[in-house]
Amino acid sequence: MSDDPVVAEFSEYVSLRWARLVRSAVLLGCSPPEAEDVVQAALTRCLVSWAKVRRADDRDAYVHRVLINTFTSSRRRRWTGELPVAATPERLTDDETASYDDADAVRRSLARLSPDQRTAVVLRYYAHLSEQQMANVLGVAPGTVKSRLSRALKLLADDPHLSDLRGAP
């Protein structure tokens, strides 16, 4: 670990939140390897301006805003300079495939939402931000957050990909 207290504080912050940030990026629409890249890029931006992040009223909300901006920017690019390749998974037993099926169902359902709705669902139900924190992160009124969540939840409630997870036939 570094002797620099700023670097030490940043490292501690990252070690406590890395997994949650990567999962948020996956839920926003990244593949797991891409999610790690997006989170790393977002955290690099945060490190450069860590003094500003430290002064924020809510560091987690600030970092999630940077993550969302980084994700959005990555989607705007026409060419990233990398070509994705299909990874061959190791052999799985029947018990291990259920979690992959569930994750696939959730990803398919989230993909049906608009980007604004998907972001709202991820921030609320995965990052556990309050409606006010979400409004601050997204730069919209709390009523807009409620509206986006309401519409997203209606679409998810009717989604056939989630019927097995809900126990419906």
What pLDDT, in 10s, does the model give residues 116-125? Answer: 999 999 999 8
Residue with structure tokens 């620099």? Answer: 4
First to last CA, the chain: 53
In the predicted model, is pLDDT for residue 168 greater than 60? Answer: no
- What average pLDDT does this structure show over 3-30? 91
pLDDT tens digits for 67-112? 999 999 888 756 556 666 566 555 555 556 566 677 778 888 888 8
In the predicted model, is pLDDT for residue 160 greater than 60? Answer: yes
Mean pLDDT, the chain, integer: 85
pLDDT of residue 158: 87
Burial of 18 (0-12, 13-18, 19+ CB in 10 A): middle
- Cα–Cα distance, 40 to 76 (Å, whole number): 18
In the predicted model, is pLDDT for residue 132 greater than 80? Answer: yes
